[in-house]
Structure formats: C-alpha cells, structure tokens
Amino acid sequence: MQRGSDEIGGILLTETKETMKISRRRPPRFELIAGNVSLDFVNTLDDRHINPKELLETYLDLVRFGEDAGLLSSPQVDPLFERSYVEPDLAARALHQARELREAIHDVFWALINKRPAPPAALARLNADTQAAAGHMHLVPTKNGFEWRFDDFGDFDSLLWPIARAAADLLASDQLAYVRACSSKTCEWFFLDTSKNHHRRWCDMTRCGNRAKVQRFYVRKKSSGEL
C-alpha cells in the first residue's frame, strides 16, 4: 500500500506490516505473539499474576511498543520521542493512562477467559477510551471503497486509540471465543488462538511450550526411577 506525503502523520488501520518493516530503524524490543495488538499490549505487564514486571517503564517504552506493533512508523516515532523530553509531565500522564487502559483490557478479557462477567469498571474504562478513539477516526475513500483512519499521531495519548479500538473490535467479534491465556501459570500471556483446531495452549512454543515439555519429561523420568 502506497502512502502519500500527506499521509505521513496519519495511520491506516489496514496498513500492512510490510510497509512498517521498511520504515523500521530500531530492532524490536517487544515479543508480539498475541495476534491482536490489544492482547500484545496486555502482555506488557510480564508475569502478571506471579511476579509482575513492568515493560512500559517510561513513555519511550510505550512509543517503542507502538513502533514494534506497527502502529507507528519511524517518522511518527521520532517527534514523540523528542516531545516527551520537552513535556515530560504530559508524557508521564499518557503513560499512566496507557497502563490504566491496559489493566482495563486485561480485566475484561481475564474475566471472560474465566467465564465470568466483565467487571463494570473495566468495561466502562474501555468504553470511554473507545469513544475517545472514535473521535479521532475518519473515513477516507480508497480504490475499493473506504477505510477508517486515525488523525495525526501528534498527541501523547494517540497511541491508545488503535489499541482501545482493537480491544473493542475483538470483544464485539466472533473471535472473542478464541482469546486465551497461556497455560503456563508463571506466564499467562494473552493471545488469539487462530490455530486450525483452536487448541493452542502456549503463548509461544519456544517460550513456554518447551519449558512445559521439559518439565513433563523430568517428572515422568523421576516417577519411573530413571532420574
């Protein structure tokens, strides 16, 4: 997909990952395994239920996540980086909002994964952020019809628009039944199970699947007296 010069500030919802890869300059920092940006975003609080590790420590981390996830291109990243040094308070507030949105998305999906109703406060927060995102979206004609695009990514919190929107779209889609948490109790990263039989258990086979396999092997050997 071609981007005209007047589109540098905006972003296409349907923009291909290939386009973003071309403009990438920094190596990726985040492991994006979820298949949906809102679930990848939840995973930025690592080992959440056992020993939480915050991967979004600074506003720059948030921008890096946006870049890795293909929400921002390099021309959009650099001004945000620079401005966050000039206006640190605003950047810190946006980071705080981002974490709050992340926890709201987590709480909603975690409840649903565990067959419980979505917590009203978390759903209200997600609704509010989705409505805010909608205020920055507009339809533009394309060759084959129309596309949704977001306004320029000039605001510190603009990165939250596509994330909130992705979470809302997922909740209202038939893909909702395929949202899972990794079976490793020390991990529990979220992902969208798009496997053929929808029996995927691990966030990533090399990250958690192999670890579990090795553990099962060890227990089996030990119980059979081989170890």
Q: What is the distance between the alpha carbons of residues 197 and 180, in angstroms, rounded to a whole number?
A: 14
Indicate the residue among 52 and 154 with the shorter CB distance to Zn ion: 52
Q: Which of the residues 154 through 193 are near Zn ion (CB under 5 A)?
A: 182, 184, 187, 189
For residue 82, the minimal CB distance to Zn ion (Å) is 35
Q: Which residue has the tokens 């972003």?
A: 11
Does the footprint of Zn ion cover residue 43 (CB under 5 A)? no
Indicate the residue among 43 and 84 with the shorter CB distance to Zn ion: 43
Does the footprint of Zn ion cover residue 203 (CB under 5 A)? yes
Cβ contacts of residue 104 below 8 Å, gap of 6+?
Answer: 121, 122, 123, 125, 126, 129
**What is the x/- site pattern for Zn ion, positions 124-143, by CB under 5 A?**
--------------------
Indicate the residue among 15 and 188 with the shorter CB distance to Zn ion: 188
For residue 116, the minimal CB distance to Zn ion (Å) is 22
Cβ contacts of residue 156 below 8 Å, gap of 6+?
Answer: 59, 80, 83, 84, 87, 90, 91, 93, 94
DSSP string, 91-106: HHHHHHHHHHHHHHHH
Q: Which stretch binds Zn ion (CB under 5 A): 42-50, 99-107, 192-200, 201-209?
A: 201-209
For residue 38, the minimal CB distance to Zn ion (Å) is 17
Does the footprint of Zn ion cover residue 208 (CB under 5 A)? yes
Indicate the residue among 36 and 184 with the shorter CB distance to Zn ion: 184
Q: Which stretch binds Zn ion (CB under 5 A): 33-41, 66-74, 157-165, 205-213?
A: 205-213
Rounded (10°) CA dihedral 84, 54, 127, 14? 70
Cβ contacts of residue 160 below 8 Å, gap of 6+?
Answer: 94, 97, 98, 101, 129, 132, 133
* Angle in degrees, CA 31, 34, 36, rounded to 5: 115
Indicate the residue among 39 and 203 with the shorter CB distance to Zn ion: 203
Do 43 and 189 contact (CB within 8 A), yes or no? yes
Please work out the total of residues on this chain that contact Zn ion, with binding judged by CB under 5 A.
6
Residues that bind Zn ion (CB under 5 A): 182, 184, 187, 189, 203, 208
